Amino acid sequence: MQTITIEAPAKINLTLDIKGKRSDGYHELETVMHQVDLFDRITLEPRTSGIEIATNSSFIPLGPENLAYKAALMILSKCQPGVGVKIFIEKNIPVGAGLAGGSTDAAAVLAGINHLYNCRFSRQQLLEMAAAIGSDVAFCLFGEYFEPRPAELLSRGATAMARGRGELLESLATRIIPYILIVKPDFDLSTAEVYSELDLSAVEEFPDTGNFLQVWNKGDIINISVYMANVLESVSIRKKPEIGIIKSRLIKMGALTALMSGSGPSVFAIFPDNEIACRAYQAFKNEYQEVYLLSSYKRGD
């Protein structure tokens, strides 16, 4: 059996709203997620037994705590129990950044093993496995996968509205945001801590999701910025004021908007043109190690 390489793209949250807390302890989310052209590369190699992870990163676990390992264990146990796989993760997405780096690796492993071992699980079955692994995994699996060349699997890229814990997904129109700048400050934030400290009554800025969707559907990328917001910023900026400072600086440099992604700490900005975006990229690159100027993720026609 051949090996296969899969691109696993990061996501940003164009809007993030929380509608309340559920009886099971989770928050009821309403968020628009969008894949961007920053991706890990996952290579799967069939083995007769055992799951082995190898990576170029010193920041991710190699054992069962790795979401890619969890995904492999789940799908192989249903498809070919006892059979193994070697997973090489070329890590390009910053870890613990609010960019779904672990979730997208898990999604790529599900899609890749389904293909490589000819498991023939339906899209719905894969999405259910994804949701059982983690909140963002189903979204990361949402873009349709295709094989442009033998041994390569790509996603067409996804934008979706996610509700519930993030697993209730509704596909949105494909739109390309051409100039996105992501700045990941040199500290981590705990997702659990940020959610647990959220006080919705203290939030000053909520996204206007209804208007966002109308403008998005029209293809008016410039004006989506008016309706974007992330309610978790109220917590993260209080804990780490640097996030607020990065946002203000990006706006001053000409961004249409700048927002924290997920529970942070990454901040992304949307720029109106390449020149202004490059200037901001240079300025931040002098100060931060993890800065990316990119566009939306899209593969295929």
Instruction: List residues near ligand ATP by CB under 6 A.
Output: 60-61, 65-68, 89, 95-103, 105, 136, 191, 262-263
Nearer to ligand ATP, 18 or 215 (CB): 18
Tokens of 195: 């959610």
- The least CB distance from residue 219 to ligand ATP, in Å, is 27
User: How far apart (Å, rounded) are the C-alpha atoms in residues 260 and 16?
Assistant: 10
- The least CB distance from residue 93 to ligand ATP, in Å, is 7
Of 40, 105, 136, 240, which is the active-site residue?
136
Nearer to ligand ATP, 99 or 258 (CB): 99
- The least CB distance from residue 250 to ligand ATP, in Å, is 20
- The least CB distance from residue 269 to ligand ATP, in Å, is 18
Nearer to ligand ATP, 93 or 126 (CB): 93
Nearer to ligand ATP, 15 or 103 (CB): 103
Q: What is the DSSP string of 177-188?
A: ---EEEEE-SS-
H-run or E-run covering 209: helix 209-218
Sheet containing strand 257-260, edge to edge, reads 257-260, 267-270, 180-184, 290-294
Q: 110-147 in b/e burial notation, b at 16+ Cβ within 10 A? A: bbbbbbbbebebeeeebbebbbebbbbbbbbbbbebee
- The amino acid present at 226, given as its one-letter code, is V
Q: Is 11 a catalytic residue?
A: yes
Q: Is 136 a catalytic residue?
A: yes
Of 11, 184, 240, 298, which is the active-site residue?
11
- The least CB distance from residue 300 to ligand ATP, in Å, is 25
Whether the Cβ atoms of residue 182 and residue 292 lie closer than 8 Å to each other: yes
Whether the Cβ atoms of residue 267 and residue 246 lie closer than 8 Å to each other: yes
In the bound complex, which residue of the shown chain has the CB atom lying closest to ligand ATP? 102
Residues classed as catalytic: 11, 136
